Chains A and B, each alone.
Chain A
């Protein structure tokens, strides 16, 4: 009834994607929230690209970019003895790239919401940059961090087009839950497709609902803490 191999694979992919994107999102989120620099608009545009590009464009470039004859593909092969394309690692690379906006944008909004005077107060207290990040900024920005991770997680479970193009539907390696559903639909196995679709629907709704509740509550707390009405 349920392709558990595919489900576990999807969860694994989502977990690793979140783990890799967490520091990346914090770094770029802070950078884009507080720093002004040349080409900032272009960097933001670049990060937002996966939101607007069709998955086919991303899939096409990934297929070329990670293929056995590409520099990246060859480098990876010399390192590991495996090919990047049609493998879990290749899928992870794709997943990290297409989740960039989902991870970075909520982080950026969260850092932007922290009033400057609080950060200035942290500097005046003699906190180092790392201490300031760890003890002041992240505790204030954590709803953003949680939404970023939850969105990334849910979006990875839901990603279809790119995986269809670069995966090759290999059991336990690249056949994610979304691909498994597609395969079942194609094979006219509506029962299994229906079960898995319903599961994914409920799971995604719960995840996103949880994130929204969390951010509402936390936002109110932050407002009362900072006296910002």
Chain B
């Protein structure tokens, strides 16, 4: 009697695994895609009837997890080098393509003293007037958008003065959260996150001049053993329709070259 219950219990435990075997591919996506990618996926589902499971997170973490055997079929990174590293290890189908180019934006809560402009003159004035006590960016040591933010601040001659006020988010999302928390006077974050409705509603956003930093080329790649659905999605993201959605949601379009 007891054995029967045990068997039943084991079967019950295994049931979800059996159900999961239905070929819904898992994809890994940079956290800065949090708002844009779901829109693309809705369109994809309408056209093909397929859905996927997305995990959002730090691209660097994904690179590590995939090397350790994480079962992702498609990886949408926030930069190029993490994808290239996987390509070099021979874990991918091909060398991947750039699916979007990211821009950065200055963001500040509506009540911040910061004057918003694309060349950060307002930020310079606020610094001179000692109005800045905390300013958020993603960690430039490892977050692509943090690196771009630092590059722009350096190029515009603000880095030395602002450095001691910088609060670093662990990734682009956390930097955005810090920037709009009201505990900082603002920050530099991915434009695609800044203009998402839930954030733009109560914050001021301005796109930072493109001359001040390199575009953040975001690469995606199919992992070896990717199934049919993941391959279809990969193609779909490269098509004009999906590209139009990404452009509309804050990314610079790409000409679909490598």
| Chain A interface residues toward B at CB < 8 A | 63, 67-69, 73, 82-83, 85-86, 164, 168-170, 182-183, 186-188
Contacts and interface: CB of A to CB of B under 8 A. Distances in A.
Interface string B112-137: 00000000000000000000011010
A83 B182 CA distance: 11
Interface in B141-155: 141-143
B183 A170 contact: no
Given A83-B183, A168-B178, A169-B168, A186 B134 contact: no
A63 B183 CA distance: 9
A24 B139 CA distance: 36
Nearest to B166: A170
Interface string B169-196: 1100000001001111000000000000
A186 B133 contact: no
B133 A83 contact: yes
Contacts of B143: 186
A68 B183 contact: yes
Contacts of A63: 181
B136 A168 contact: yes
Nearest to B85: A188
Contacts of B58: 186
Contacts, number: 52
Nearest to A179: B170
Contacts of A164: 170
Given A85-B183, A86-B167, A168-B136, 14 more contacts: A67-B183, A69-B182, A69-B183, A83-B133, A83-B183, A85-B181, A86-B134, A86-B184, A168-B168, A168-B178, A170-B166, A183-B141, A186-B60, A187-B60
A83 B134 CA distance: 9
A187 B166 CA distance: 18
B134 A183 contact: no
A170 B178 CA distance: 13
Contact of B141 (A67, A82, A187): A187
